[in-house]
Amino acid sequence: MKRVLVTGGAGFIGSHLVDRLLQLGETEVVVLDNFDEFYDPAIKRRNLETHKSNKHLVLINGDIRDPTAYPGQVDGVDTIFHLAARAGVRPSLEAPELYESVNVAGTLSMLELARRIGVERFIFGSSSSVYGPTAAPPFQETAALAPISPYAATKAAGELLLHTYSHLYGIQAIALRFFTAYGPRQRPDLAIHKFARLIDKGKPIPVFGNGSTLRDYTYVDDIVTGILASADYDASRFEIINLGESRTVRLDYVITLLEEALGKKASIETLPAHAGDMPSTHADISKAETLLGYAPATPIETGIKAFVEWMRANSY
């Protein structure tokens, strides 16, 4: 039986990945999560609730920065899906040292763990934010990086560490640049979830700027499909690959879709544009299509409806 480690496995993308890995069978899934209070830890625990009696799930409450705190519990792992991170562009401006500690030092600790226990494959969850505002859309993986937030800079640093360890120790390594993932279990601080909850309660939604920002919104099921495909890729030692939907959508259109799905009109509180925010993201997914057979299947119109159905069913 295969044994894999998912860091951040109780979080948004991580828990969906755990679902799929356990559905595949014949895989023991070790989840490492510290259940920090960036948002309610009870939400993350609920994400794994359906698997609590699954004999193929091992849950470690621990910190990626200190693998010595759980000696032996990750032995035998052949693949690491490293999704744990301190997330959020705007909060990173308030606590850059914390972001460096978790996202850079934490990634280094996981790579050192991989080296020590002989992990064959390391999949790293990176971010479209590494491109910065100077990249020409659609963003190609070869574009020069110009991160404009501490969060984005830590993700770029993680990619460099991944390349170094792949080169030095022969680890099969892939950095996946996620483009604005959304869907069921999305963090409550992210725009789609936050806006949906506020609109549903009849409260104003805070919009930074005039609603013209563009994002390549990618449904979580498509992201997870890409992650799983990357774990089977072995034609080269190291790759950086975009996982997006390849379509840019204005924020005000997303608000319209939420209004339609909720059956309620949004009250908008307009705020100044935020310095750390990208004005636009747009993924070139041709590399993912060629190397991974990646084909996103959920347009934003369908994904928003599915998210709202989940939110209302889960008392958010």
Closest CA to 275 of 132, 85, 100: 132
Rounded CA separation 262/212 (Å): 22
pLDDT of residue 246: 93
pLDDT of residue 316: 59
pLDDT of residue 51: 94
Q: Is residue 98 situated within a structural domain?
A: yes
Catalytic positions, written as ranges: 151
Q: Is residue 82 situated within a structural domain?
A: yes
Closest CA to 145 of 113, 169, 191, 177: 177
Q: Is residue 206 situated within a structural domain?
A: no
pLDDT of residue 156: 98
The pTM (predicted TM-score) of the whole model is: 0.96
Q: Is residue 264 situated within a structural domain?
A: no
pLDDT of residue 218: 98
pLDDT of residue 265: 97
CATH number of the domain bearing residue 158: 3.40.50.720
Q: How many domains does the chain have?
A: 1
- Strand-strand pairing, 2-7 and 214-215: unpaired
At 34, which amino acid appears? N
Q: Is residue 194 situated within a structural domain?
A: no
pLDDT of residue 209: 81
Closest CA to 159 of 66, 240, 74, 102: 240
pLDDT of residue 153: 97
Residues forming beta bridges with residue 127, ordered by sequence position = 178
Q: Is residue 123 situated within a structural domain?
A: yes
Q: Is residue 183 situated within a structural domain?
A: no
State the residue range of the domain holding 129. Answer: 2-178+220-244+278-296
Angle between helices 300-313 and 191-200 (to 10 degrees): 60
Q: Is residue 312 situated within a structural domain?
A: no
- Segments of the chain with pLDDT less than 70: 316
Maximum CA extent, the chain: 55
